[in-house]
Amino acid sequence: MPNNFLANNELMAAIDIGSNSFHLAIARLDHGEVRKIASMSEKVQLAAGLDERKYLSEEAQQRGLDCLARFMGRLDSVSADRLRIVATNALRQAKNADEFIRRANEILPKPIEIIAGREEARLIYLGVSHTNESIDKRLVIDIGGGSTEFIIGQEFDPLLTESLQMGCVAYTQWFFESGDITEAAFNAAIADARKEILRISTTYQKTGWTSVVGSSGTIKAVRNVLVSKGWADDQERITYHGVKKLQQLLLKVGRVEDIDLEGVKEHRKAVFPAGVSVLLAAMKVLGIETMTYSDGALREGVMYDMLGRFASEDVRDRSVQALVERYSVDKRQARRVVKSCERLYEQVHEALELSSEDNDLMRRTAYLHEIGLAISHSGYHHHSAYLLEFSDIPGFSQVDQVRMAQLARNHRRKLKSETLEQVQEIGGRKLVYLCLLLRLAVLVHRSRNDHDKSDLKLNIIDKEHWQVRVESEFDEYALLILDLKDDIAQFKKWGVELTVVQEDSES
């Protein structure tokens, strides 16, 4: 069952583990609107700690951990179920992201969610659209430390989402590492960004927009400088002409440490020319003359997305149903398996210490466990797993998708002992139990008919000894009993003893 909707004045919070800065926002719900009451931001420059092999240095990890520990000092009044922690491009790129996440999760009350680029874009749009409501079809641009997101949306619905591998930290390392602000560095950075943006420009311009909004630190700093210099328009919007004048001013300054501009904070000086390069390229390629600025961005979007989950308007469920339609899933069979998953969960969740979030993960995977049939019947569970792990699925973190992939991959055929270690590393013993529960639910409906098998009972003798009880007087259960007995050896490979007990309905 979904959580109750947040009461007015109840606190909620979001932490954004960005490639350049970490941000904390604390807000309260005020008549359906998120009202920010406190915030913290620290320049961590996680992306600057990535070496050429994409490994995050110990120094960068420690900067991040120290920042998160300081954030925790502000979260005493926020319950863990009202907090979300999302990580973006730097941890998407880092090959040792798991190491940082493991250490961070020892500090934090909730696990970190690494979100895909398009999911980041969706959440940014959600933050912008709720902060600056409009009926316009809008293009939103968010320049981050490691990536830049481009979203076209109308009202609260994103229509196109893209995340490109260009950001102010990465471009500083590539083009402005010496600290010199030269015409050659600007030209090289702009040319590289133009090449990236050209990949999406045709599609975006075909879709079209009526207004442009920028969000996050780089665009905020640019706007502040243009307003202070009188280079913005009469509505204090960023103009392409104004950004070109800013570029010329930075060339005259010559060194990043000598930047002394109203609106550019000390911690942003080093990455500011790179951010201006990305913005110039975006405005030039997409033909943007003016753009406004929005205070709402990723962390605000995360909180509005959290509100939707509390209000039973969870985008993850819409995403699941969209995949069901896209891959022409047998809906009746999916519902049968979902129903059995929910029955099994009710019987065993206390004994196995499973949470409602575990149930949600299993339920959503149960709807989608057969999507691989759209590719091939042979080994379809592997195709299902691939689609779940590597598709852009709005609302899901990368960890969620990897866990769903494991559930789908192991719902049929032989279980492998060597796979057990991988499953446990991804989701602990709980994920093992969820895989086995989904496996039982699929077995129950192998005949793909509507006969109600609610009389299948699962008892947990202990966590590693499960007992299935089946009424044996029904002929149609004979195959099920054989299948269950065949699976005893598979369960054993994963450390669970399965016993099957046949009983009369009168016993």
Paired with 272 in beta bridges are none
Among 281, 307, 333, give the residue marking a domain's end.
307
Among 405, 422, 451, give the residue marking a domain's end.
451
What distances in angstroms separate CA 250 from CA 115, 247, 349, one per listed residue?
34, 5, 61
499 in a domain, yes or no? no
- pTM of the complete model: 0.84
Contact assessment for residue 16 and residue 86, using Cβ atoms and an 8 Å cutoff: yes
Residue-level pLDDT, tens digit, the chain, 507 residues: 334 445 556 899 999 999 989 999 999 987 777 888 999 999 999 999 999 999 999 999 999 999 999 999 999 989 998 999 999 999 999 999 999 999 999 999 999 999 999 999 999 999 999 888 888 999 999 999 999 999 999 999 999 999 999 999 999 999 999 999 999 999 999 999 999 999 999 999 999 999 999 998 899 999 999 999 999 999 999 999 999 999 999 999 999 999 999 999 998 999 999 999 999 999 999 999 999 999 888 999 999 998 888 777 789 999 999 999 999 999 999 999 999 999 999 999 999 999 999 999 999 999 999 999 999 999 999 999 999 999 989 999 999 999 999 999 999 999 998 899 999 999 999 999 999 999 999 999 988 887 656 567 999 999 999 999 987 655 667 788 888 999 999 999 999 999 999 876 554
Q: Using CA atoms, how far apart are residues 82 and 70, in angstroms rounded to an integer?
A: 19
Q: Within 10 Å of residue 40's Cβ, how many Cβ atoms?
A: 15
On whether both 149 and 288 belong to a single domain, the answer is yes
Q: Within 10 Å of residue 361's Cβ, how many Cβ atoms?
A: 23
Residues in Cβ contact with 292 at an 8 Å cutoff, skipping those fewer than 6 apart: 132, 211, 212, 213, 214, 235, 237, 238
Among 307, 339, 356, give the residue marking a domain's end.
307
Contact assessment for residue 256 and residue 273, using Cβ atoms and an 8 Å cutoff: yes
Contact assessment for residue 301 and residue 124, using Cβ atoms and an 8 Å cutoff: yes
Q: Please tell me the total count of domains within the chain.
A: 3
Q: Within 10 Å of residue 379's Cβ, how many Cβ atoms?
A: 13
Q: What is the CATH number for 137? A: 3.30.420.150
On whether both 287 and 364 belong to a single domain, the answer is no
On whether both 254 and 322 belong to a single domain, the answer is no
Q: Using CA atoms, how far apart are residues 154 and 133, in angstroms rounded to an integer?
A: 10
On whether both 363 and 424 belong to a single domain, the answer is yes
430 in a domain, yes or no? yes
Contact assessment for residue 112 and residue 106, using Cβ atoms and an 8 Å cutoff: no
**Residue 417 structural domain:** 314-451
On whether both 142 and 287 belong to a single domain, the answer is yes
CA neighbor of 150 nearest in space, from 93, 88, 191, 204:
204
CA neighbor of 229 nearest in space, from 216, 211, 241, 217:
241
Contact assessment for residue 305 and residue 123, using Cβ atoms and an 8 Å cutoff: yes
On whether both 96 and 137 belong to a single domain, the answer is no
124 in a domain, yes or no? no
396 in a domain, yes or no? yes
Residues in Cβ contact with 493 at an 8 Å cutoff, skipping those fewer than 6 apart: 415, 416, 417, 420
On whether both 147 and 205 belong to a single domain, the answer is yes
On whether both 198 and 338 belong to a single domain, the answer is no
On whether both 105 and 143 belong to a single domain, the answer is no
Q: Using CA atoms, how far apart are residues 31 and 483, in angstroms rounded to an integer?
A: 54
6 in a domain, yes or no? no
